[in-house]
């Protein structure tokens, strides 16, 4: 635990990539295999199981110490994180050690596999709280913080999976792509798993194991200057769920980009792809396609997270799949071959299964940059959110490789909305009001009212956040727990990727990826947009990109 805490502190104290990699390399070169594997899973976010809730930890602390709950709440409101609040209180109340102790130092594996699960099983509240306090006494404040985070499954470390892969590859002298592949899909803790992860020779993969996804960079001016249309494939970029479909051993697996198994969520897609030949892996987008039309992401959302899908849902929200790459054919990994060759393989294995619900992505006719922009402007007409631009000769890389794949999205839809609620942020922003709710005008005939339509917390710089926070504190009408109701005064331009009808929201609409584009200090509250304008945007996909903003 102490070594892992030290690693966390080193990673958290620097923004330097080299320093982060060096810290990881030092840890992995000395840690035991089982501890190292747990560290890999925690750092990459593959294991974030919550064994105890933050509230349960707080109750243990309050029961044992008799600390006033109102005072704890005040402390939390300043810190913004339960685990950190408890670790700070542990230090101030002398419930933890001032310096590392020699005795009672359990390994990271022992904490995660034995001690923490055992604590969760204790039914006697007094004994449970007493056990936790005994643990704290042998740990430093920093170790208490890490322990609390591990128990609640909320530990977030400022390091990417790419850096973890790089450190492992350098320490154990194996290719990064090989490490990344072994970390994709189902990965379990344990010394045996770590041994397989760092084995110098190629290992046979689990039948269900997907490949690491190839990702794209946003299109930029530099890319445009160097662009020759003949070298590139241009396809529609759809707003669905990125997925790999695997057929091995007469079975179909479907993996999301977030490395979740989602075949049970989409049994109708499994059925449609059941005749894929063994040894096939294809990459594409899961969408809802009904009456030959791709429906908005909100429709797809209604099917997510369901272990069982009703016949009514299957009929109302029929799944579709648009394939655009082939990673494996006849059991052969072809990721290092060019896109053109991989698409030929894709057509070979998928052509017998094509239908209105199963398609191969269309390659658009683009001869120059003007053609590119013209197609992009028509994206919403084709139920797309922009273009994918891929070099014909590019391999299917691990992660983002600059220069091979680009995404060129349409400009966001926008509405001018009124700030009506604010809530404090979390973590480093716990002292500032940074989570905002925005409203649009609803015409009731003889009167108008502001109706909430979106929440956003990104888009302002620090100076604007500080200015707005100061105003919020001075213009609060009412408080509802952590939420402040505000005088309607400030107008903001809110951007979002998509809009759809919603029965769950009072406004009757739901927007996708809302964020603040501008603080419209030049506008009065009465100048903000109406719900009617928002509903008109529901049909905006039929308009050119240059006309979609109200």
pLDDT tens-digit series, residues 435-488? 999 999 998 888 889 999 999 988 898 999 999 999 999 999 998 878 899 999
Query: How much is the pLDDT for 252?
Result: 95
Q: Quick check: 223 pLDDT over 80?
A: no
Q: For residue 291, is it left (φ>0), alpha (ψ between -120 and 50) or beta?
A: left
Helix (H) or strand (E) holding 119: helix 116-121
Please give the Cα distance from 231 to 389 (Å, whole number): 10
What sign for the dihedral angle of Cα 348, 350, 355, 358?
Answer: negative
Residue 382 CA, chain-centre distance (Å), reads: 26
Q: Give tens-digit pLDDT for 64-99.
A: 999 999 999 888 877 878 899 999 999 999 999 988
Please give the Cα distance from 380 to 205 (Å, whole number): 40
Contact 20, 159 (CB under 8 A): yes
Query: How much is the pLDDT for 98?
Result: 87
Tokens of 351: 């052509």
Query: How much is the pLDDT for 186?
Result: 83
Tokens of 545: 């990109």
Q: How confident is the model at residue 541 (pLDDT cuts 50, 70, 90)?
A: very low
Give the CA-trace dihedral at 523, 528, 533, 534, to 10 degrees. 120
HSE-CB of 502 using CA atoms within 13 angstroms: 23
Query: How much is the pLDDT for 401?
Result: 78
Tokens 């008799």 locate to 66
Query: What are the E-state strand segments in 213-292?
Result: 214-215, 217-218, 232-237, 241-248, 251-256, 280-290
Tokens of 465: 């956040």
For the chain, list the domains and their CATH numbers: 2-152 (1.10.3260.10), 214-409 (3.30.470.30), 413-547 (2.40.50.140)
Q: Quick check: 543 pLDDT over 50?
A: no
Q: Quick check: 207 pLDDT over 50?
A: yes
What sign for the dihedral angle of Cα 508, 258, 385, 295?
Answer: negative
Short-list 433, 506, 504, 502, CA closest to 468: 433
Please give the Cα distance from 273 to 252 (Å, whole number): 8
Longest dimension (CA), the chain: 76
Report the pLDDT averaged over residues 317-342. 96
Higher-scoring residue by pLDDT: 260, 206:
260
Buried b (16+ CB within 10 A) or exposed e, 463-492: eebeebbebbeeeeeeeeeebbebebebbb
Give backbone dihedrals phi and psi of 247, rounded to 5 degrees, phi first: -120, 110
Tokens of 503: 């029965």
Higher-scoring residue by pLDDT: 301, 255:
255
Report the pLDDT averaged over residues 25-30. 95
Higher-scoring residue by pLDDT: 230, 550:
230
HSE-CB of 100 using CA atoms within 13 angstroms: 10
Q: 17-30 and 2-12 are packed helices; what angle lies between their axes, rounded to 10 degrees? A: 170
Q: Quick check: 388 pLDDT over 90?
A: yes
Mean pLDDT, the chain, as a whole number?
A: 89
Query: How much is the pLDDT for 22?
Result: 95
Beta-bridge partners for 212? none
Please give the Cα distance from 492 to 475 (Å, whole number): 17
Contact 198, 192 (CB under 8 A): no
Q: Give tens-digit pLDDT for 125-158.
A: 999 999 999 999 989 999 999 999 999 887 888 8
| Cβ within 8 Å of residue 401, ≥6 positions away | 214, 394
Q: 82-92 and 54-65 are packed helices; what angle lies between their axes, rounded to 10 degrees? A: 20
Report the pLDDT averaged over residues 182-188. 87
């Amino acid at each position: 635990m102490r070594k892992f805490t030290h690693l966390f502190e080193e990673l958290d104290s620097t923004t330097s990539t080299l320093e982060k990699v060096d810290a990881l390399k030092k840890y992995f070169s000395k840690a035991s295999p089982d501890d190292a594997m747990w560290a890999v899973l925690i750092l990459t976010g593959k294991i974030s199981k919550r064994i105890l809730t933050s509230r349960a930890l707080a109750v243990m602390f309050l029961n044992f110490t008799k600390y006033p709950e109102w005072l704890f709440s005040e402390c939390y409101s300043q810190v913004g994180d339960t685990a950190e609040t408890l670790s700070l209180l542990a230090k101030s109340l002398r419930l933890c050690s001032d310096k590392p102790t020699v005795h009672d130092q359990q390994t990271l594996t022992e904490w995660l596999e034995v001690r923490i699960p055992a604590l969760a099983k204790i039914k006697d509240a007094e004994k449970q709280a007493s056990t936790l306090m005994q643990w704290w006494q042998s740990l430093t404040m920093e170790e208490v913080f890490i322990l609390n985070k591990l128990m609640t499954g909320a530990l977030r470390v400022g390091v990417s999976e790419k850096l973890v892969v790089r450190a492992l590859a350098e320490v154990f002298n194996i290719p990064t792509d090989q490490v990344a592949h072994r970390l994709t899909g189902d990965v379990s803790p344990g010394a045996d798993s770590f041994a397989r992860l760092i084995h110098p020779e190629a290992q046979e993969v689990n039948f269900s194991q997907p490949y690491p996804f190839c990702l794209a960079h946003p299109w930029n001016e530099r890319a445009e200057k160097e662009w020759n249309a003949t070298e590139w494939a241009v396809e529609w970029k759809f707003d669905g769920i990125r997925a790999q479909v695997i057929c091995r051993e007469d079975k179909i697996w479907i993996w999301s980009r977030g490395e979740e198994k989602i075949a049970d969520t989409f049994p109708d897609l499994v059925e449609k792809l059941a005749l894929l030949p063994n040894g096939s892996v294809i990459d594409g987008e899961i969408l809802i396609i009904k009456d030959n039309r791709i429906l908005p992401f909100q429709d797809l959302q209604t099917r997510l997270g369901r272990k069982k899908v009703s016949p009514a849902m299957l009929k109302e929200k029929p799944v579709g799949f648009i394939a655009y790459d082939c990673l494996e054919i006849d059991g052969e990994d072809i990721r290092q071959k060019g896109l053109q060759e991989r698409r030929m393989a894709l057509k070979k294995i998928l052509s017998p299964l094509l239908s209105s619900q199963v398609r191969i992505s269309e390659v658009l006719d683009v001869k120059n940059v003007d053609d590119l922009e013209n197609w992009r402007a028509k994206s919403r007409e084709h139920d797309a959110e922009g273009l994918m631009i891929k070099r014909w000769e590019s391999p299917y890389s691990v992660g983002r490789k600059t220069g091979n794949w680009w995404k060129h999205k349409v400009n966001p839809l926008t509405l001018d909305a009124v700030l009506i609620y604010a809530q404090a942020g979390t973590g480093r922003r716990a002292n500032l009001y940074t989570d905002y709710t925005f409203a649009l005008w609803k015409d009731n005939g003889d009167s108008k009212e502001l109706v909430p339509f979106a929440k956003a917390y990104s888009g302002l710089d620090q100076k604007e956040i500080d200015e707005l926070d100061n105003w919020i504190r001075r213009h609060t009408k009412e408080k509802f727990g952590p939420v402040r109701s505000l005088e309607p005064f400030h107008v903001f331009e809110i951007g979002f990727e998509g809009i759809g009808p919603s029965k769950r929201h009072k406004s009757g609409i739901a927007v996708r990826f809302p964020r603040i584009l501008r603080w419209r200090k030049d506008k009065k509250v009465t100048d903000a947009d109406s719900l009617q304008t928002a509903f008109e945007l529901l049909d905006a996909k039929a308009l050119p990109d240059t006309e979609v903003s109200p």
